[in-house]
Amino acid sequence: MLGLRDMEVDKMSKMIIKDKISMLRKGYPTVSDKYNVAGGILQAGSADVQFGELVAYGSQVGYYKAATSITDVAEIAGVVLATNVKLSGVWPDENQAGLVKPGEAFNLMLDGYIAIELDDSVETVTAPAVAAVATKTTDTDIVPGKKYYTRESNSDGIGYLNDGTYKYTLVEFPLKANLNDYYELSNPGSDATTDVVTPGKQAALILATGKFTTIDAVSAGTVVAMPGWYFTGLKEGRLAELEIRR
């Protein structure tokens, strides 16, 4: 049977784990004894690179550059590994401590498990569609800054700006003379979403930005699959655990 002190410790540990400590931190390995690294230097002329971001091969051996506007996944060298000992050269910090700047050395993760940030386009939640909720406006004059909508019959089903019977369109320049045709939305609704970051799903790269997405988004010339890079299914917010296999 737990004593009072044990109960308090147990309660505190649950509070810490649930409310305070994040499971994932961008750029940090998630399995401490299962990754390999190599040293590298960010070459002159490269943009700054954040911990947890991709780098491409540079103009000479051992030098790398920010992985933006690349044309082929083969240009990718790996992920910049976060470190706890890099100090900012700027005071106040202004988020500089998590950046690698040209001329600086860094650790390049070659393989292992690491937390990366997903592109904003990647859906990580499965949820049903929600219908829009609209009422006809009772305003007698245009209220500056207020959003007004028109509607038209639509059979696409409930979702964003759709209540299942009507689809609503935002009026860009509302006019007092048309107020009888305007509606207000108390809820714009939302489309159904499906979590695409599932265990074993292959990662993909958005060539223009160097951001991570999933293989579902592959599109010739713009998004390419990353051979040997797989999601484990572990997610937290916009962060996801990625396994790099070489």
CATH classification of the domain holding 93? 2.40.300
Q: Is 3 within a domain?
A: no
Confidence of residue 84 (pLDDT cuts 50, 70, 90): low
Same domain, 117 and 149: no
Same domain, 161 and 104: no
Tens digit of pLDDT for each residue in 155-189? 999 999 999 999 999 999 999 999 999 999 999 99
Same domain, 42 and 107: yes
CA-based nearest residue to 177, from 135, 140, 215: 140
Confidence of residue 41 (pLDDT cuts 50, 70, 90): very high
Same domain, 49 and 111: yes
pLDDT of residue 4: 46
Q: Is 15 within a domain?
A: no
Tokens, residue 56: 């491409």
Total count of domains within the chain: 2
Exposure string for 3-32, b = 16+ CB within 10 A, e = fewer: eeeeeeeeeeeeeeeeeeeeebbbbbbbee
pLDDT of residue 181: 98
Same domain, 57 and 152: no
pLDDT of residue 9: 45
Q: Percent of the chain having pLDDT more than 70?
A: 86
Q: Is 10 within a domain?
A: no
Tokens, residue 180: 């009888």
Tens digit of pLDDT for each residue in 197-232? 999 999 999 999 999 999 999 999 999 999 999 999
pLDDT value at 10 more than 90: no
Same domain, 40 and 114: yes
Confidence of residue 16 (pLDDT cuts 50, 70, 90): very low
Asked whether the beta carbons of 82 and 30 are under 8 A apart, the reply is: no
CA gap 184, 176 in Å, rounded: 14
Cis omega before residue 102 (within 30°)?
A: no
Asked whether the beta carbons of 149 and 185 are under 8 A apart, the reply is: yes
Confidence of residue 86 (pLDDT cuts 50, 70, 90): low
Same domain, 114 and 204: yes
Strands 54-57 and 133-136: unpaired
Q: Average the pLDDT over each of 13-27, 97-111, 207-221 and give the range with the smallest value.
A: 13-27
Same domain, 46 and 118: yes
Asked which of 187, 208, 231 is the last residue of a domain, the reply is 187
User: Which element (helix H / strand E) includes 65?
Assistant: strand 63-66
pLDDT value at 5 more than 50: no
Q: Is 211 within a domain?
A: yes
**What's the whole-number average pLDDT of the chain?**
88
Mean pLDDT across 55-79: 94
Same domain, 202 and 107: yes
Q: Is 99 within a domain?
A: yes
Q: In 10 A of CB 49, how many CB atoms?
A: 25
pLDDT of residue 98: 79
Same domain, 159 and 47: no
Mean pLDDT across 14-29: 70
Same domain, 74 and 116: yes
Domain assignment of residue 238, given as a range: 35-122+196-244
pLDDT of residue 140: 97
